[in-house]
């Protein structure tokens, strides 16, 4: 395809890094450069000729820089259709130079948002001229090449060097697509900022500019892509690329650890988004070994997360297990040497970061949105509904069990003792089946349920679960309450010296 030579370029950018190489290539190709403000001064500092936009328009930058490029002599040169004789005639009549290349970026609205800037600062970061230049140049991609972000400088440099200062129609269309991606993301971010305050619109708008192609989706025959900024949350130190299923399990692990805050060591083992091992102990090694006891079979190929640095002692234990991913705040050098011996083993260093307060997913022909479930069981919120109250040790165990149940697939039952998961039944259509599953697992792995506690993610519609629990030696129960037959379960507990507390908060997880 015949290339179009770049003869003129308009450059007006907020960020100047990586711009010098492009400007020097344009100078070598004898391109006339037009610019504004700080960009103009930057180009002049390189001893490269540049025409001030003010000299082109006959108007200075006004209103504190709010109006610089909004003028027919600028936009006429960008939007003119060169194949139309009337457009060409008007360019000549009004002495408007046609623009072949527009390089613009936008005021850093998103960066100001992350920095929690004031409303006045946020408003001043809403770009007007830049967004207009991008849209105009992208619209007229038949004639004009547009670069809307410094992240596209490398691509432009490659095009200019390959084509010796020219662009093809296909390249201009590619650049226009990237420009519209930039402008639409910018507008979506601004909309979200205002709509969170005003709730004026019911529109669902989400823009995530980064994408990572995955090996496949949940299964090899499905394509998969992750949209987001993983590097803000993790630094991958070792192993193969994260898969779709890895990411789903990592999300479950991070969410549970967020609720299980402790000054002691916490270890969680996740399999298919459910915890198959959880423990809190004085040392990472002790916490890991206690977590592993709950289900060493399911732990094979699982996802492991901890709140403590990985030391040599726990690394030696971990190295004996095949697992997919290990997430920790840091890895001591000798521990890292041990763990990286398996080249496919994924080791993630987790960075502290606030997680989003909203969740959404596609359903049918639309999207459902909800607030994140941030309610966490606390002893202060207990409603004691039985004659016997749980002991201090049991209350601690009930809080621990309830936090695990919150993150398991419904219907779920969790059996625990203080700071250690014994077993859980998850994703069952019957709460009774969930309890029976948990009991069988606990016994299979050698746990004594005498004195254990039971947590349920939702209320008991009948007393059958507490009846079964009592026969196994379980002494305390935590549940939301709210059934019209709550009293049946309370009465049974009173008759058998069991303690029960209500939280008033259901934690279904579908």
DSSP per-residue string spanning 78-142: HH--TT-HHHHHHHHHTT-PPPSEEEE----HHHHHHTT--HHHHHHT--SHHHHHHHHHHHTTT
Check whether 115 has a pLDDT greater than 90: no
Residues of the chain with CATH 3.40.140.20: 225-350, 379-502
pLDDT at position 180: 94
Burial class of residue 406, CB neighbours in 10 A (0-12, 13-18, 19+): buried
What mean pLDDT do residues 125-137 have? 91
Q: Mean pLDDT of all residues in the chain?
A: 92
Residue 37 has pLDDT above 90, yes or no: no
Question: In this prediction, what percent of the chain has a pLDDT beyond 70?
Answer: 100
Dist. CA 72–CA 373, nearest whole Å: 52
The question of whether 68 is a catalytic residue gets the answer no
Backbone angles phi, psi at 52, to 5 degrees: -70, 135
Question: What pLDDT is stored for residue 14 in this prediction?
Answer: 85
Per-residue pLDDT band for 111 (boundaries 50, 70, 90) equals: confident
Q: Where in the chain is CATH 3.40.50.1380? A: 4-198
pLDDT of residue 102: 95
pLDDT at 258 over 60: yes
pLDDT (tens digit per residue) in 303-337:
999 999 999 999 999 999 999 999 999 999 999 99
- pLDDT recorded at residue 70: 80
Residue 198 CA to residue 201 CA, distance in Å, equals: 8
CATH tag for 225-350 (out of 3.20.20.70, 3.40.50.460, 3.40.30.10, 3.40.140.20): 3.40.140.20
Predicted confidence at residue 69, as pLDDT, reads: 77
The string of pLDDT tens digits covering residues 377-407 is: 999 999 999 999 999 999 999 999 999 999 9
Quickly state the pLDDT bin for 446 (edges 50, 70, 90). Answer: very high
Catalytic residue among 16, 125, 139, 319: 139
3-class secondary-structure state, position 213: strand
**Mean pLDDT, residues 403-427:** 96
Q: Quick one: fold of 4-198?
A: Rossmann fold (3.40.50)
Question: Alpha-carbon distance 319 to 302, whole Å?
Answer: 13
Domain 379-502 has CATH 3.90.1150.10: no
Q: How many whole angstroms separate alpha carbon 145 and alpha carbon 150?
A: 14
Confidence band of 127 (pLDDT split at 50, 70, 90): confident
Which position among 272, 342, 443, 496 bears the catalytic label?
272
pLDDT of residue 295 exceeding 60, the answer is: yes
Tell whether the model's pLDDT for residue 1 goes beyond 60: no
Per the annotation, the verdict on 240 as an active-site residue is: no
Contact between 89 and 98 (Cβ < 8 Å): no
């Amino acid at each position: 395809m015949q290339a179009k030579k770049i003869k003129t370029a308009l450059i007006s950018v907020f960020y100047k890094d990586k711009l010098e190489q492009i400007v020097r290539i344009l100078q070598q190709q004898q391109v006339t450069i037009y610019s504004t403000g700080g960009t103009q001064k930057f180009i002049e500092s390189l001893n490269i000729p540049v025409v001030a936009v003010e000299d082109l328009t006959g108007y200075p930058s006004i209103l504190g820089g709010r109006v610089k490029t909004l003028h027919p002599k600028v936009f006429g040169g960008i939007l003119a259709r060169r194949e139309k004789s009337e457009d060409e005639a008007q360019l000549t009549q009004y002495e408007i130079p046609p623009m072949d290349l527009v390089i613009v970026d936008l005021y850093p609205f998103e960066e100001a948002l992350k920095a929690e800037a004031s409303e006045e600062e946020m408003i001043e970061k809403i770009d007007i001229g830049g967004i207009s230049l991008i849209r105009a140049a992208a619209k007229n991609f038949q004639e004009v090449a547009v670069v809307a972000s410094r992240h596209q400088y490398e691509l432009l440099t490659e095009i200019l060097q390959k084509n010796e200062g020219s662009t093809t129609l296909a390249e201009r269309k590619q650049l226009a697509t990237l420009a519209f991606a930039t402008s639409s993301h910018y507008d979506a971010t601004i909309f979200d900022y205002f709509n969170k305050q005003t709730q004026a619109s019911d529109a669902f708008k989400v823009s995530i500019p980064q994408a990572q192609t995955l090996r496949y989706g949940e299964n090899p025959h499905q394509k998969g892509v992750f949209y987001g900024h993983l590097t803000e949350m993790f630094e991958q130190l070792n192993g193969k690329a994260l898969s779709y299923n890895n990411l789903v399990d990592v999300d479950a692990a991070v969410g549970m650890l967020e609720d299980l805050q402790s000054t002691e060591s916490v270890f969680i083992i996740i399999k298919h988004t459910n915890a198959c091992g959880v423990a809190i102990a004085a040392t990472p090694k002790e916490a890991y070994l206690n977590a592993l006891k709950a289900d060493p079979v399911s732990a094979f190929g699982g996802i492991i997360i901890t709140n403590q640095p990985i030391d040599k002692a726990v690394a030696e234990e971990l190295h004996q297990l095949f697992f997919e991913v290990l997430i920790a705040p840091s890895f001591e050098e000798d521990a890292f040497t041990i763990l990286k011996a398996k080249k496919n083993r994924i080791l993630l260093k987790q960075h502290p970061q606030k997680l989003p307060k909203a969740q959404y997913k596609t359903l049918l022909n639309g999207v459902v949105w909800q607030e994140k479930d941030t309610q966490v069981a606390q002893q202060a919120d207990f409603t004691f509904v039985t004659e016997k109250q749980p002991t201090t040790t049991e209350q601690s165990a009930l809080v621990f069990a309830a936090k695990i149940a919150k993150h398991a697939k419904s219907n779920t039952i969790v059996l625990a003792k203080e700071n250690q998961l014994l077993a859980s039944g998850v994703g069952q259509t019957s709460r009774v089946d969930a309890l029976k599953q948990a009991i069988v697992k606990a016994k299979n792995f050698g746990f004594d349920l005498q004195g254990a506690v039971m947590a349920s993610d939702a209320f008991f519609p009948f007393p059958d679960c507490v009846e079964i629990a009592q026969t196994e030696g379980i002494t305390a129960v935590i549940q939301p309450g709210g059934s019209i037959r709550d009293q049946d379960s309370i009465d049974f507990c009173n008759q058998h010296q069991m303690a029960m507390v209500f939280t008033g908060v259901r934690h279904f997880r579908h």
